[in-house]
Structure 1
Amino acid sequence: MTTTKNLILNNINKRSKINDQSKNKKQTLFQCCFGAKQLKKITNKKNKNNKSKKKNASLSKHYENIEENIQLYLLSSQLEADKGKKTLVLDLDETLVHSSFDPIGNADFTVQVTIGNENHQVYVKKRPNADFFLQRLGNLYEIIIFTASDPRYANQVIDRIDTSNIVKARLFRDDCVQHFSFFVKDLSLLGRDLKSTIIVDNSPVSYLFHKENAIPIKTWIDDPNDDELLKCFQLLERILPLQNVIHALSSLQK
């Protein structure tokens, strides 16, 4: 009886280890491709205060270098066709598309990602109205896609959703500033006037340093009736003729 019980327990433990390994592998793949966007909320006030007192050496270095060397900006000068346009920084995952390693029955397309020696298929679904959103705004704004994802994955997705070359620049995880455990998209490193720069992102962490420049958008997974991009487009149309986007966003998003 004891032997049988031990065998059963051993089998359960083995299955548990296999499941854990599979889960860890999927988490590793997810972070490698899509980045760590969803982060734990800091609710402990003491921790919050302690963290706020610490200086991030890499951030200080960034700002010092920017003052000394303009070449450290992430973007080059605006193209002639975009001169004078406001800059619109768009997130990718859960803002314009949803991607999954698990099969999606109605996926718009798939991309192949090689991690280590293994090839992985990623299923990608475009958010409702994504094509309209990009096409219309491409004529009005300088469009930048800034994602915390790996370029091996993100470049392929952008190629598929931007067949008209509307996107003028692509920025990835390595272009983010690591602030504690967060990947932050620091708009001051772009080399653009912040009064003319807007970021659209589903993750508040992404615009932690420039909340006043942000248009928050709901995370999208699979809702076919989602109309967030249409609402966002209407807001961006209203902002377009206004001189200072920070003042405009403050008044229009109340």
Structure 2
Amino acid sequence: MPDKSDKLLILDLDETLIHATTAPLTITADFQVDAFYIHQRPGVARFLANISPHFTLGIWSSASDEYVTDIVKAITPPDVEWALIWGRSRCTMKRDYTLDAYYFEKKLEKVKKKGFRLEQIIIIDDSPEKSRSNYGNAVYIEPFTGDSNDQELTYLYDYLLTLKDANNIRTIEKRGWRSRTWPYATMH
């Protein structure tokens, strides 16, 4: 078994690990939660099982707390444990004055109460605005919209292993991370 890093890996749900829609797609949904058809990103169970020995894991979504709990329960492999499972109630409502719209931001300062330093936290999200104040901690992935050929988690796994022993996550340039893993994806 690999040595577990001192890092906390926080994963988003919608368009990161799953795609939820109220209208069925042409491919069959993996499961349903309330009115939502849920499609798991290809390899999500394998990704979670393979990455959990390396990092402490958390989920943080801007969706409702109940929805987040139901989805996490459905996608979590048996040996995976979560240090935190957070939903919208842990987010901060922010206003985008340019678009005159509100959105929910994930402020990592709140995670410090769990004993993690900001230098130890990696947050994975498809929406940069939701992690705007966590720029040095964020790894942005392509949104998942139900494509059964999606390979994003395979590339993400390989990249995350390069961060495992970093002293300070915030000082590492993460833009263009995907080009540093392609075509060497190894998650099996």
Is the structural similarity TM-score above 0.5? yes
Deviation (angstroms), 1:168: 2.2
Q: How does 1:242-253 map to 2 (within 5 A)?
A: 242-250=166-174, 253=177
**SS of the counterpart of 1:189?**
helix
* CA distances 1:50-98 after superposition (whole Å, capped 9, x unpaired): xxxxxxxxxxxxxxxxxxxxxxxxxxxxxxxx99620011000000000
Structure 1 runs (4+) greater than 6 angstroms displaced:
none
- Paired position in structure 1 for 2:43: 129
- Paired position in structure 2 for 1:96: 17
Judged with a 3 Å threshold, the aligned counterparts in structure 2 of structure 1 residues 175 and 141 are, in CA distance, closer, same or farther, namely same
- Paired position in structure 2 for 1:146: 60
Unaligned ranges ≥5, structure 2:
96-101, 181-188
Judged with a 3 Å threshold, the aligned counterparts in structure 2 of structure 1 residues 94 and 251 are, in CA distance, closer, same or farther, namely closer
Superposition RMSD in Å: 2.0
TM-score using structure 2 length: 0.81
* CA distances 1:102-159 after superposition (whole Å, capped 9, x unpaired): 12441111122xxxxxxxx321110011111111111111111000001222211110
Distance 1:251 1:201 in 2: 13
Q: State the identity as a percent.
A: 28
TM-score using structure 1 length: 0.61
Return the structure number with greater relative CO, CA threshold 8 A, min gap 6.
2
**Aligned pair count?**
165
Determine if contact 1:177/1:186 at 8 Å carries over to the other structure: yes
Q: Aligned partner of 1:109: which letter? A: F
Q: How does 1:44-193 map to 2 (within 5 A)?
A: 85-104=6-25, 105-112=27-34, 121-164=35-78, 165-180=80-95, 181-191=102-112, 192-193=116-117
Distance 1:155 1:205 in 2: 23
Distance 2:158 2:57 in 1: 16
Deviation (angstroms), 1:252: 7.5
Unaligned ranges ≥5, structure 1:
1-81, 113-120
